[in-house]
Chain A
Amino acid sequence: MKKTMFTLKNVQLANGEVCDVVIEDEYIKAVGQSMNEGELIDCSGLIALQGFVDLHTHLREPGFEQSETILTGSRAAAKGGFTAVHAMANTMPVADNAAVVEQVYALGKSAGYVQVQPIGAVTLGLNGVQLADLGKMNASKANVTVFSDDGKCVNDSLVMRRALEYVKAFDGVVAQHAQDPALTIGAQMNEGELSLKLGLTGWPAVAETAIIARDVLLAEQVQSKLHVCHVSTKGSVEIIRWAKSKGIKVTAEVTPHHLLLTEKLTSDYNPIFKVNPPLRTDEDVQALREAVADGTIDIVATDHAPHPADSKDCEWGEAAFGMIGLETAAAIVKTTLVDTGLISWSRFEEVLSTNPARIGKLRDQGQQIAEGNFANLTLMDARKVFSVSSNSESKSANNPFLGHELSGEIIHTIYKGVFTVKNSAIQRLGDK
């Protein structure tokens, strides 16, 4: 087989070093000065980062292909600089058995834009009662290690305890959607002064914080691994910080939208801003940003949630929860955390690549840009300031960031040595 070989010239690494990166087939062949092998691609002024890994993506297939497919979602991910995504389990049928996760895995592989790693449901049909086939999903070709009922909370304390215990057999992790269902019946937005004025049923912070508090204590009790999805409140950050200080095995994620947007956007009842957990206050946003900086929050994950236009072109109360975010995630992290001086490029690489790959146990991902490692890279023009447009590879258009000015454009994405995005354009990967 003919080898492919090219050299990325004059890239800047996260540590500031400027060098050339030679890529041969799926691997990084060499990193150094004055390298000129194969095609030479001038990357002057671009920062080279480990390919991003999303631990929380809704690809909607099977079952909701009008919103997104594994192919369109994979393309959106590549456009955003991702080389791997974790596909959430709330599809139809639910990914609660080996057959569905293997199908998702295979479709991801055939799309070829990113590594698609299925997440398995914790409970059968996300019913919160009976454990799904956790072991069989793990033993399947998809090798599932992350389990989540995301969209629904594993509310029953005993079921949560059992799930945490059960996944220890294969060093799995339970990713919890922390939302006390009774405290959030009919909830529409953050509970506070604004929800009062708008007459929208409040989603109180305690409904998240209380579940996280319980879950970290359960994780401690049974000595297992907990991951907290989409942390949205200051109080939750404090609980997780405390849990980590006790040595409890908990990791946590924040979404780009919770780092950038606040509940104020709800004021006109525009459902594009309806999301679960809801947009919170400035104070929460600030606490979340600081938590990424100080290590309390380990990763940024998109919770990319595509919905068809009709489900947002309606009254707030009828609208679907969720927003897309794969293509804007990196620029939001850059704008809110790097540009503000809160984090370094190294930390940026950790929260978007190294840490999510570690939590999701993706061995081929999150590797340093170094000789012998897989060539999963993202090249960003960090100086490029742009206004978010509606152009998207996603099948859905529920983008809450339209018109926002962000900095940091993805120029190239390379997944296992193949350009999935080149010069900011998605590549067509043949007949795959």
Chain B
Amino acid sequence: MKHLLSINDLDVQSALSVMNLALEMQQVNAREVKKLPALNGRTVANLFFEDSTRTRFSFELAAKRLSADVVNFSAKGSSVSKGESLKDTVQTIEAMGVEALIVRHHHSGAAKTIANSDWSKSIVINAGDGTHEHPTQALLDALTIRQRLKGKANSGDLAGLRVLIVGDILHSRVARSNCLLLRLLGASVGLCGPATLIPNDAMKLADSVYFNLDEALAHNFDVVMMLRMQRERMNSAFIPSETEYATLWGLTESRFNSLSNDTLIMHPGPMNRGLEISSTAADSAQSAILEQVTNGVAVRMAVLYKLLAKESSLS
């Protein structure tokens, strides 16, 4: 496999192999000199057509720790009608000698379009495309779950674990990639949120769907993953108000307190404290939110290594 565009590009072996390599990368990240020479002399570009500080930082650090040269391109709202086309941008950057493109784009499928096009020869890593997928986020989430729930999970896959994802499933690329990867690794996934934000066909993506958070939480999931609520969703009549959302769908202090004390709390960030998650939950010992961030760098190192290092590949 040349690119990482979707979790569908992975099978169990290749997913586990990335996660295991990420564990080794964590060792590097724990050292004083956090650097490997693996990608010395190689050049990767962060191609960000949508704002994202943390994902771009994470990829940039990952590439730098493998000694690659990194350049950053950001263009908000670039389009055929307004300025330079995606094709021209990609061709321009490749003409400068870049070998891998880490692409964040507001349109679903953009990374795949670049990878399939005749205008790019680069290795393409999808760093989030529209409302489609965010595969490295799912890999770092799976790694975090496996690490934190060692007693419950195998050292290998996530067989038997139960994960609840709460919030705006309709617009979430994190939810899509997580559904695919967690289920690939043997976990079962429940989805929960207001019916306006849960697609009709959600059962094709997950094992269970709940329109009531308290009912869902009563099922004692091993992991509760809260998604970021975009405040502008109110304007399209998805939800009545922020306060109603916080009340009905937020992981409030009382909901958090009612959970078993080994329920893992996750959030892909950035958080809206007080909206989808309370500070009590986010800052608790059960929260793995900062470990997700830490693991993000290791997972992205592993992906870059697998796709770029000589004699290595994801499969």
Contact = CB atoms under 8 A, between A and B. Distances in A.
Interface in A184-216: 185, 188, 191-193, 196-202
A153 B87 CA distance: 32
Interface stretch (A70-78, A254-262, A311-319, A367-375): A311-319
B10 to A, nearest CB: 16
B131 interface: yes
A198 B110 CA distance: 11
A199 B131 CA distance: 5
Contact of B108 (A269, A270, A310, A313): A269
A321 to B, nearest CB: 13
B109 A314 contact: no
B201 A316 contact: no
Contacts of A269: 108-109, 112-113, 116
A200 B176 CA distance: 12
A197 B80 contact: no
Nearest to B133: A199
**How would you classify the secondary structure of chain B's contact residues: helix, strand, loop or mixed?**
loop
A199 B108 contact: yes
B269 interface: no
A318 B176 contact: no
Contacts of A314: 80, 85-87, 113
A318 B130 contact: no
A316 B85 contact: no
A329 B117 CA distance: 28
A185 B238 CA distance: 13
A201 B171 CA distance: 9
B113 A315 contact: yes
Nearest to B79: A318
Contact of A317 (B87, B107, B112): B107
A268 interface: yes
Contacts, number: 78
A192 B131 CA distance: 15
Contacts of A200: 108-109, 130-132
Measured as residues with beta carbon below 8 angstroms from the partner, the interface class of chain A is 20 to 34
Contacts of B133: 199
Interface string B185-220: 000000000000001111011000000000000000
A200 to B, nearest CB: 5
Contacts of A188: 108
B202 A318 contact: no
B121 interface: no
Interface in A235-279: 268-270
Contacts of A318: 79-81, 85-86, 107
Given A198-B132, A269-B113, A315 B201 contact: no
Contact of B132 (A191, A199, A202, A313): A199
Contact of A198 (B81, B85, B86, B108): B108
Contacts of B200: 191-192, 196
Contacts of B119: 313
Nearest to B119: A313
A191 B112 CA distance: 21
Given A197-B176, A269-B112, A317 B130 contact: yes
A313 B205 CA distance: 30
Interface in A269-302: 269-270
A198 B107 CA distance: 11
B64 interface: no
Interface string B204-248: 110000000000000000000000000000001000000000000
Given A192-B201, A196-B204, A269-B113, A315 B131 contact: no
Given A197-B176, A198-B132, A310-B85, A315 B204 contact: no
Interface string B68-108: 00000000000111000111000000000000000001111
A107 B80 CA distance: 31
A297 B119 CA distance: 42
B110 to A, nearest CB: 4
A310 B107 contact: no
A388 B32 CA distance: 62
B87 A313 contact: yes
A364 B306 CA distance: 68
Contact of B201 (A193, A270, A310, A317): A193
B267 interface: no
Contacts of B117: 313
Contacts of B79: 318
Q: Which of A192, A197, A202 has the most CB of B within 10 A?
A: A197
Contacts of B85: 310, 313-314, 318
B80 A198 contact: no
A196 B205 contact: yes
A210 B113 CA distance: 34
A196 B87 contact: no
Given A199-B132, A268-B112, A313-B85, 14 more contacts: A196-B202, A199-B108, A199-B109, A199-B129, A199-B173, A199-B176, A200-B131, A201-B131, A269-B112, A310-B85, A315-B107, A316-B109, A317-B106, A318-B85
Q: Nearest 3 CB-CB pairs, A to B?
A: A199-B132, A269-B109, A317-B107
